[in-house]
Structure 1
């Protein structure tokens, strides 16, 4: 069945299966490390209370009972299965084995996402779920990759890129006048080590970057469906653009997962033409079992039907960004940075033993100490740091931020482990407060003179000093400042 078996795309399947599994491994390790402190029984947004108030919005193993022990069992099971898939062990067996492995990852991670509340409300969570579900039907080494699933991965890559392009064109004017990168590297959620240098590139080059981005996201995605080798070239352009984003910022696993998905359009022959020393990737396939063909066609039909909603969203004037249209997180809408902020504000959290001498808590990823070079954390996802960025934009965060401050007053060890620096070395402060600072990158001259990556100035107070005695008795939130 030449129309079904995609011989000559073995490397694409290997990259998809092992790459998606690697991202799942990172996601489950992240959950094991961060979920209990953020959402556990004694977390900032405890899952038991969430389930008691409103219930989960989709399937989850935690619907009837949540405990930190069960969460860790789910996370470590997912990490172990992911590691096996990265090593390629299930893929060496019959096709039902990697199918069950990926469906298990999908179910376990969906259980986490569906109770993760605001800490898991990111587009790359649904992207990972959708990609993991589709990867279950790529088969094993015993059969040729199924062409319908590869096409669905290409359709996913199209939605990712074209959706992001359209949200920009329909959004902030700076994308249309090509000035978005005058601001983006400085105001993005979590700058990386190279972001300062990217920001200081000449403005004409920034305009060319934006123009190139529009071409990559609005024109190139259509070429992913073209005959080979055009489709492979289009995928290479997407991959190169995503690597540029990897270098210039920290967007968790979004860029890496997009690179992996784009490989669905890359043929073995195209890779061999560029790297002739790699040899032949295609093993000796056996006949495709009838049951596998039926399952793949049924799943492809299901995903095709579910594609109606994201396809309609792409054409809508009121395009949704990073939205799921069903409780299973399949057939989602994607897109990012429809608007660009021009000024950067940061929330600086401080504690004091006496109310006079204030010391600053430092986060792992978000800007704090102006002299500290931004670090690279992606594809790992620092969830608390990301929500601190949204909080600095003016989002309402009382439901988790005031509990966070109370945890600092209690010197709660799981919470402190989410931070880079505890200025009190485990001792509980008597007071905590949250101040607002305006941040901008230093100029070349300022950097040479001071060694600082950032120049900051006070811009207000978000939360007045709290103590454990008074913190629970009064409302300390001051609201918007911008």
Structure 2
């Protein structure tokens, strides 16, 4: 079928697939390095306990059949290795059927992880990676031109990411409508980056322009993704530029990078190569085999049927953010920051090696890798890598209810000196032996002014608000 493929989108598919594989590699790497403390057999939310009595279709994946920490580690490292191989071109070097198998394997492997990740994997970009990864199964490889239908499905996914985020803002916090949300957001976002303080200190009229531009980028530009070229490519370029602005202003794991990758589904690769003076890539490929056409048509029909739920959600006044309507994380609804915090609260965890507590007890602070803690430490860039504990600590500062399931086990592991938990931290003030007591206090944080920064060298100023967790010790066995 001549209409089945898009001959000018080979370069676009190359960038899309290699970028997606790279993000898969980052996701698997994060799972391998962080799982023991979070969901391992002795973790804060152990997988075996979560799966006990849970029907397979509620959380489909390989770990329903078998779980051990060794098996999870091997599974994660194997996923990372497979993703790196695809980045290096493995999926283009094999027959089409083998390429389909490789992409399907990546999707199944990461789906298995997400479905046992519980709270730690409850972020919208997990479902976004899985939905994009599922569509990549049907993009083909260098032996065929990209299927038109799959490119349109990629644009439909990108549209839901952007338009859903735009709608949730307009329906949510009033500061989005009066253009004042960025008076606060750069300072109160979950994990600031090295340039976030600079963004926060921009003049307020610039912040208002930022918000207005965001509304255009999320509510107008996504519609243009479905228009003829070159308008669709221009719309994709706008999406890419706005996402790079977000990359520079904060740490949002792979959300922004994956959105950038998806935008290439709307870029006319041949035209872009001509504009940039690049050689055409790849050379025209042959027609797709019939079995592949049938597979793509079936996947398209599935996405069309499943689109009912996110469309209904977007049209609803009670629109929900970042929600999956099925256990396979296909055709989800997206959106972020429907409301904006005006004040930043941080939970500071401290320990002491004193046997008896009193007014003179010396408490030492645990340091995290990404979240603000030491006021003299400048925020770092971690995205697209996802520091899961640091992100959940931000939620804990908003309300203890967000941390009810895992904060107690986290403190217990600090008291026990659990090596896996300590590896998630940036600084352990008790390298020789674990503390006798641990406590947590809630602080209000704000960026220092230029004068304060010059006088003290501090990036943050903090004020004690209240006790978050009174001193606790391990119960004697």
Normalising by the smaller structure, the TM-score range is over 0.9
Q: What is the root-mean-square deviation in Å for CA atoms of aligned residues?
A: 1.2
The answer on 1:292 being equivalent to 2:292 is yes
For the 8 Å contact 2:414–2:421, the answer to whether it is kept is yes
For the 8 Å contact 1:250–1:379, the answer to whether it is kept is yes
The answer on 1:5 being equivalent to 2:5 is yes
Residues 22-41 of structure 1 aligned to structure 2 (within 5 Å): 22-41=22-41
Give the match's secondary structure for 2:441.
Answer: strand
The answer on 1:373 being equivalent to 2:374 is no
Matching residue of 2:128: 127
Displacement, 1:449? Answer: 1.1
Q: Deviations over 1:147-203 (max 9, x none)?
A: 000000000010000000000000000000000000000000000000000000000
Residues 175-324 of structure 1 aligned to structure 2 (within 5 Å): 175-276=176-277, 278-324=278-324
For the 8 Å contact 2:185–2:340, the answer to whether it is kept is yes
Gaps of 5+ in 2: none
Give the match's secondary structure for 1:312.
Answer: helix
Matching residue of 2:139: 138
Gaps of 5+ in 1: 473-482
For the 8 Å contact 2:16–2:264, the answer to whether it is kept is yes
Displacement, 1:54? Answer: 4.6
Displacement, 1:270? Answer: 3.2
Matching residue of 2:450: 444
Give the match's secondary structure for 2:475.
Answer: helix
Matching residue of 1:360: 365
Matching residue of 1:71: 72
Displacement, 1:74? Answer: 1.1
For the 8 Å contact 1:85–1:98, the answer to whether it is kept is no
2:393 to 388, 393, 396: 388
Displacement, 1:426? Answer: 4.1
Q: Separation in 1 of the partners of 2:405 and 2:150?
A: 41
Q: Separation in 2 of the partners of 1:16 and 1:423?
A: 43
Q: Deviations over 1:271-310 (max 9, x none)?
A: 134312x121131312221111111111111111111111
Q: Separation in 1 of the partners of 2:156 and 2:12?
A: 15
Q: Separation in 2 of the partners of 1:168 and 1:230?
A: 26
The answer on 1:407 being equivalent to 2:408 is no
Q: Separation in 1 of the partners of 2:447 and 2:272?
A: 40
For the 8 Å contact 1:94–1:142, the answer to whether it is kept is yes
**TM, length-normalised to structure 1:** 0.96
**TM, length-normalised to structure 2:** 0.97
**More displaced stretch, 421-430 vs 31-40:** 421-430
Q: Separation in 2 of the partners of 1:7 and 1:231?
A: 16
Q: Separation in 2 of the partners of 1:221 and 1:230?
A: 11
Give the match's secondary structure for 1:350.
Answer: strand
Matching residue of 2:436: 430
